[in-house]
Amino acid sequence: MFFDNEVVSLTGRIYSIRASGKSLIFIDLDGDSAKVQIMASAEHYVGKAFEELQQTLRRGDIIGVEGSPGRSKPGELTVRATKIVTLSYCMHMLPKPEVGSTGLTMNKDTRYR
């Protein structure tokens, strides 16, 4: 259920991107120790070409999103994006998160590098 009469704007770092066909993208956005799922579909998207958006977004990029808030079927907080703007590109790939840990807290050598 989405609230189409409300519009929210948020920013964050792309944690993961999942494509579901050629007209739907799911993005996990992480920022300020909070995680939000972004659902970008071609039918609701306004702005530059949706196909171009799929090719330019990468894991680690910082993006700005504008859209309607709601909950997905499993109950996860989701924003149905109408506009996505890349604010900063990631120059170095983020390390893969280790299973069972919270990122780089377990591996001190990689964290200090």
pLDDT by residue (tens digit) across 10-24? 999 999 998 888 888
Structure tokens of 94? Answer: 């983020």
Bridge partners of 65, per DSSP, are 10, 84
- pLDDT band at residue 110 under the 50/70/90 scheme: low
Measured at the CA of 60, the angle between CA 55 and CA 42, to 5 degrees, comes to: 35
Measured at the CA of 54, the angle between CA 49 and CA 55, to 5 degrees, comes to: 100
Pick the closest to residue 81 from 32, 35, 31, 25 (CA basis): 25
Does the pLDDT value for residue 102 go beyond 60?
no
- pLDDT band at residue 64 under the 50/70/90 scheme: very high
Bridge pairing between strands 34-41 and 77-88:
parallel
Q: What is the DSSP letter of 27?
A: E
pTM value > 0.85: no
Does the pLDDT value for residue 106 go beyond 80?
no
DSSP string, 72-90: -TT--EEEEEEEEEEEE--
- pLDDT band at residue 93 under the 50/70/90 scheme: confident
Pick the closest to residue 68 from 41, 50, 35 (CA basis): 41
**Domains identified in the chain and CATH numbers:** 8-112 (2.40.50.140)
